[in-house]
Amino acid sequence: MSAVRGWTRIGKQFQFHAAHQLLSLPEGHKCRREHGHTYTVEVVWTAQVLTGPGFVTDFANFGPFKRFIDDHLDHQNLNKVLEIEPTSENLARLLAEWLIEQLEPVIEGQLVSVSVSESPSSWATFEVARG
Ligand SMILES: Nc1nc2c(c(=O)[nH]1)N=C([C@H](O)[C@H](O)COP(=O)(O)OP(=O)(O)OP(=O)(O)O)CN2
Ligand SMILES: [Zn+2]
């Protein structure tokens, strides 16, 4: 065991395609009109102690999160399937809540952040506050 202590982070990306419109924006704003994005979601997960061959957690353990995205968000109109205004910021928080409630109790490590990107040039990150 090394004398150097610290936390190790891993990241995994997921994609989905969905339509949305931001109805809180003023009339005439282009994002008020229904349109679509190929969303990228990046989850960052951390642990202090590695398990098995040297994993924070097996990447395969994110399978239930992929299924949640596929079943509830992919090829959906986000305004119809969510109760929140579907901004990147709100989606990042919603997905973080799902990961903390559903995945943290059953796999090693813990959530650091969730980023949601509507395009390669824009993203929003929700960072979990601990302690
Ligand atoms: N802070 C945020 N601002 C905006 C969001 C958001 O989720 N958070 N979302 C939108 C719209 O969804 C819009 O579709 C994306 O906006 P924008 O990046 O401005 O549009 P383009 O992809 O067409 O990018 P260009 O740089 O204009 O080509 C708006 N704002
Ligand atoms: Zn949009």
pLDDT value of position 1: 59
119: in domain: yes
Q: Among the atoms of ligand 1, which is closest to the Cα of residue 91? A: 7
> How many angstroms separate the alpha carbon of residue 26 from the centre of ligand 2?
14
What is the domain range of residue 103? 62-131
27: in domain: no
Q: Along the chain (131 residues), what's the average pLDDT of each consecutive run of 10 residues?
A: 89 98 97 98 98 98 98 98 98 98 98 98 97 83
Q: Does the CA dihedral 97-98-102-105 come out positive or negative?
A: negative
108: in domain: yes
Number of C-beta neighbours around residue 35 at 10 A = 12
pLDDT value of position 4: 92
Residues lining ligand 1, judged by CB closer than 6 Å?
22, 31, 35, 87-89, 118-119, 122, 124
Name residues whose C-beta falls within 8 Å of residue 24's C-beta, 6 or more positions apart in sequence: 85
> How many angstroms separate the alpha carbon of residue 83 from the centre of ligand 2?
16
CA 75 – CA 101 distance, rounded (Å): 24
44: in domain: no
Whole-angstrom CA distances from 70 to 16, 17, 53, 63 are 7, 9, 29, 10
Pocket probe for ligand 1: among 17, 31, 117, the residue whose CB has the most ligand atoms within 8 Å is 31
How many structural domains is the chain composed of?
A: 1
pLDDT value of position 131: 83
CATH number for the domain including 109?
3.30.479.10
35: in domain: no
Q: Where are the beta strands (DSSP E) in the chain?
A: 8-20, 35-47, 76-77, 110-119, 122-127
